[in-house]
Structure 1
Amino acid sequence: MGGVQSRQPALVGDIVELSPLQPEHSAALLSAAADGELWNLKATVVPGPDAIDDYIANALAGRQAGTVMPYAIVLRATGLICGSTRFWKIDRANRKLEIGHTWLGSSVQRSGVNTEAKYLLLIQAFEVMNCVRVQFTTDELNDASRAAILRIGAKQEGIVRNERIMPDGRKRNSVRFSIIDSEWPDVKAMLRQKMRR
């Protein structure tokens, strides 16, 4: 356990703590996903009751392999888990990774939780892990997610066609965004200002 924690520290902000995902988080994650029945969304994959065990097992297997750092998003005021996010596609040789698999219960969307969670992840990526590139990918059809990624200062790079096959069999086109190391100081300043507001 200690080894996992040292490789994947908790990230603590003012309103959220990103806590390394554990098997015992499954009931709390399901409860967060039930806030808006997020597993019914077509443009994103959120675990429902049938999928939660595989969801956590896959995340933990990725952590074991060194390519994924999965987190539960915990509201500090209440200790309740309200969603999940992760670093994945971690490529240490090229100092790049992707932030993704992010979802939040309906009641905390547009509340500042996402901005602070992304801020904590980006500090870890650029200032601790020394990344030169952090990328984000979302469904071409997911307008809310696309807008949220642009709001945190990422630049759209393009559309990747038939990038993945969704659970319902749809061939998904994905939009790719990134922040690179030279942009990070300006993005950081903008996010800090946003969080102060």
Structure 2
Amino acid sequence: MEPLIGPRVKLRPMLASDGPDLVRAAADGDLWKLPYTFIPSADTVDKYIRIALEGRADGNTIPFVTQLVESKAIIGSTRFWKIDWEHRKLEIGWTWLAQSWQKTFVNTEAKLLMLTFAFERLNCIRVQFATDELDDTSCAALLRLGAKQEGIIRHDLIMAGGRKRDSVMFSIINDEWPEIRRRLEERLSESSNPNQTTDASRLDR
């Protein structure tokens, strides 16, 4: 698959050799300590990448690293997963950004790239997101994105330390996409300052 490239953000398919750069990005804020999601550390990055690449080989996952177009620096990761080709739906998840790039244009531009690809290239009828019920920031960000909250999946995941996570499910359907695209493009056009606060980063698992 070719990279998804915007004016300032590039989503490049993940490689087995990306481990050191991912750990370096996650070290900006010690993100692996977050209780809400799975972010690689030096001890877990090999497994993190292996799971992503196995999913790609199985045809149900498309993992990316998030890069800045200008500097080519890797500053996070995201992926399409739970891809259901028959029913034309998927989930956007495993999304995280280095702390220095949270609440900037990066997440908005990355989501625009991914949603455009999902709805306009893959012809999806549904894109879903799941986030930790305790993560108010991500829940609010998904609502601002235009996703609709659908419900809570109880004891959805077992987190580090053994906590049983309840996940809040959100979705965007194809009928809603044109208006959401318009809003995202408008938001990006207003964020000429690369450090302007435009969104939250911990959008989904």
Tell me if TM exceeds 0.5: yes
Cα offset, 1:9, TM superposition: 2.0
Point out 4+ residue stretches in structure 1 off by more than 4 angstroms: none
Range 8-17 or range 65-74, more displaced:
8-17
Aligned residue among 157, 162, 166 for 1:164: 157
Aligned residue among 134, 143, 147 for 1:150: 143
Cα offset, 1:21, TM superposition: 0.2
SS of the equivalent of 1:187 reads helix
| 1:22 correspondence with 2:18 | no
Cα offset, 1:164, TM superposition: 1.1
| 1:57 correspondence with 2:68 | no
SS of the equivalent of 2:167 reads strand
Identical positions, percent: 52
Amino acid at match of 1:32: A
Spell out the pairing of 1:72-151 with structure 2 (5 A cutoff). Answer: 72-151=65-144
Cα offset, 1:150, TM superposition: 1.4
Pick 1 or 2: higher relative contact order, CA cutoff 8 A, min separation 6.
Answer: 2
Alpha-carbon distance in 2 for matches of 1:97, 1:89: 5
Cα offset, 1:45, TM superposition: 1.1
SS of the equivalent of 2:155 reads strand
Alpha-carbon distance in 2 for matches of 1:45, 1:118: 19
Can you give the 5+ residue segments of structure 2 that lack an aligned partner in the other structure? 191-205
SS of the equivalent of 1:70 reads strand
Alpha-carbon distance in 2 for matches of 1:60, 1:167: 22
Amino acid at match of 1:30: V
Cα offset, 1:148, TM superposition: 1.6
Residue in structure 2 matched with residue 189 of structure 1 by the alignment: 182
**Superposed CA RMSD:** 0.6
SS of the equivalent of 1:97 reads strand
Alpha-carbon distance in 1 for matches of 2:184, 2:17: 32
Alpha-carbon distance in 2 for matches of 1:129, 1:170: 35
Alpha-carbon distance in 1 for matches of 2:151, 2:14: 31
Cα offset, 1:191, TM superposition: 0.6
Can you give the 5+ residue segments of structure 1 that lack an aligned partner in the other structure? 1-7
How high is the TM-score relative to the length of structure 1?
0.95
Cα offset, 1:43, TM superposition: 1.1
Range 141-150 or range 37-46, more displaced:
141-150
Aligned residues: 190
Amino acid at match of 1:26: G
Alpha-carbon distance in 1 for matches of 2:37, 2:8: 25
